[in-house]
Structure 1
Amino acid sequence: MSRPHRRPLARLTIALALPALILSSTSTAEAADTPAPATPTPHRSQGCASPPPQEPGQSVQHSLASGDLERSYRLHLPDDYDEHRAWPVVLAFHGRGNTGAGTEEFSGLSELPAVVVYPEGVIGQGDGDRQAWQGAPYSAPGVDDVAFTHDLLDTVESDLCVDRARVYATGKSNGGGFTALLACAAADRVTAIAPVAPALYPHDLDCEPERPVPTLSFHGTEDATIPYTGDPERGLPDLPTWNAERAEAGDCRPDPRARRVDPDVIEYRWTGCAPGAAVGHVAIEGGGHTWPGADSYSGGGHTTRTIEAHEEMWRFMSRFRLPLV
């Protein structure tokens, strides 16, 4: 299905005064969180020059062993995949009860110039057979999804030609929350994250990231499933506080710059961050528990049609490289 053109946030310059926030021009905001210059030489994986496990342009289900479980993932290769070129990788984690195929359908992520991997969670606890990710109260006890992510990346790097310094993670709801967990527990392999409507449950992992991971989050202000203002009874933080904590970890200035880029979209950028530690947030006014720009059902509530989340997150994440030796 062809997608209608949405205006990219980075090219809009409309500003609206907001209480307690400092307004900025597009050029100022972008210059403030521009990452340090990166080496143009990719960190090529061992799979370079090897024939791929599937035809370019296809999305195919694969399996691998992780821990004591047989796990699976959906793999999409770009139409022009070339085993002699080191490609960036996007890990896309589905929400509770969804699948990799379902996330691929509504997200538009397979349109990106990257190898896109849609991992499958393990059936968790609670109502029905619903796949979930580590860190949520309804996830399967004892399942180590962080270890699974490492095993999955090992497999991708072995089978394909990818750039180990350009591994990005996104996800919806429970999957978005899991990317935040990876930013803590796998900062040595995940370059940047872009959670959408993330379920940011507190986790019990004792981890101290080696580096602050660049983060761009998306959330609807009328999300009835994961409220924008948080839910103390479930341990869910409000989004402004969570983003402020990410900014503090990255040595950013405390007050974000804000600009309204569409009638229902406000973009927040923290400035003065340490090199490679950018923090941004996209608030969808009136948005529900949905993926911005989704062309099929992605959750309850209103879905904005003014931006495409996959385009905006790619514009943000693809600027960064993991500082590998």
Structure 2
Amino acid sequence: TLASGGLSRTYQLHLPADYTPRRDWPVVLAFHGRGNTGVGTEEFSGLSNLPAIVAYPNGVIGTGDGDRQAWQGAPYAAAGVDDVAFTGDLNRTLCVDKRRVYATGKSNGAGFTGLLACRMADRIAAIAPVAGAFYPETGERCHPSRPVPVIDFHGTGDVTIPYEGDPERGLPAIPDWTAGWAERNDCRARPRTRTIEPDITITRRTGCDHGAEVHHVAITGGGHTWPGADSYSGGGYVTGTIEAHEVMWQFLRQYRTPRAVVR
């Protein structure tokens, strides 16, 4: 448990099997989707297999039907709850390599990583949203203090958070969202796209400021799911072609926040 913003907040913490406090470890912050939990996300994501400390925070029950936990930036998030501050408090609590803090999440939690990239670029080295719900409040007035590397995963058959966007809910088309980050990071105008498996197409935006590349992994026909999930992660097709945790780690691990901005 952790006191933050006048609330008692909770998180689950996974330490690698060979963990020792005598070395600095990277940390992955994994934010669950609406109505899920940190425990549930650990079960399906495979993230605890990474050579990193993994923290699975729990959101606060939001609005709408049912008692469902949610994260800041979504229209159904609990009013007045500052999850960005909670993330900062959590970072200060953990004994980790402060330059290698990464954020991932699914759906509402993935959208929240976008907000963290906007507001905590000095502490979040890179983000890896999966099936992200990028509501307007997660990206409006987004002026990060440094270019933030991004690797995004999304199924083209996602009916919960449509790949082509949902204007009525203020959700952008996923290619437009990644293009927005490429523009912030001053990447080359022309991306490179390659189909690496029958259902996996990767678009890479390179030549970015400070090497902060933006990658997008499109899962053809993929549902509102976590690629390679070990258990139920949402409705629709789940690819077994890739494991999201492995692909994102190959991307994330190469990045660190600059020394000049570490607090």
Determine whether 1:184 maps to 2:118: yes
Deviation at 1:149, TM superposition (A): 0.3
Q: 1: CA distance between counterparts of 2:167 and 2:203?
A: 24
Look up the match of 1:303.
Answer: 238
Contact 1:244 1:254 in 2 (8 A): no
Q: 1: CA distance between counterparts of 2:181 and 2:142?
A: 15
Look up the match of 1:142.
Answer: 80
Deviation at 1:247, TM superposition (A): 0.7
Look up the match of 2:218.
Answer: 283
Contact 1:89 1:116 in 2 (8 A): yes
Q: 2: CA distance between counterparts of 1:76 and 1:92?
A: 11
Q: Which moves more between the two structures, 129-138 or 241-250?
A: 241-250
Deviation at 1:254, TM superposition (A): 1.9
Report the RMSD for the aligned CA atoms in angstroms. 1.0
Contact 1:247 1:279 in 2 (8 A): yes
Deviation at 1:68, TM superposition (A): 1.0
Q: Residues 92-103 of structure 1 correspond to what in structure 2 (within 5 A)?
A: 92-103=30-41
Look up the match of 2:4.
Answer: 66
For the residue of structure 2 that corresponds to 1:81, the secondary structure is coil
Moved >6 Å (runs of 4+): none
Determine whether 1:133 maps to 2:67: no
Structure whose CA Rg is larger:
1
1:151–1:316 distance in 2 versus 1, CA, 3 Å: same
Post-superposition CA distance 1:28-65 (Å, at most 9, x none):
xxxxxxxxxxxxxxxxxxxxxxxxxxxxxxxxxxx010
Q: Residues 45-194 of structure 1 correspond to what in structure 2 (within 5 A)?
A: 63-156=1-94, 160=95, 162-194=96-128
TM-score (norm 1): 0.78
Deviation at 1:208, TM superposition (A): 2.3
1:207–1:251 distance in 2 versus 1, CA, 3 Å: closer
Count the aligned residue pairs: 259
Look up the match of 1:240.
Answer: 175
Amino acid at match of 1:214: P
Q: 1: CA distance between counterparts of 2:233 and 2:40?
A: 8
Post-superposition CA distance 1:276-295 (Å, at most 9, x none):
31100000000000000001
Look up the match of 2:153.
Answer: 218
Post-superposition CA distance 1:203-239 (Å, at most 9, x none):
1765521111100000000000000000000000001
TM-score (norm 2): 0.97
Amino acid at match of 2:179: A
Q: 1: CA distance between counterparts of 2:87 and 2:31?
A: 10
Look up the match of 2:129.
Answer: 195
Post-superposition CA distance 1:67-125 (Å, at most 9, x none):
11000000000000011100000000000000000000000000000000000000000
For the residue of structure 1 that corresponds to 2:251, the secondary structure is helix
Contact 2:147 2:210 in 1 (8 A): no
Contact 1:134 1:145 in 2 (8 A): yes
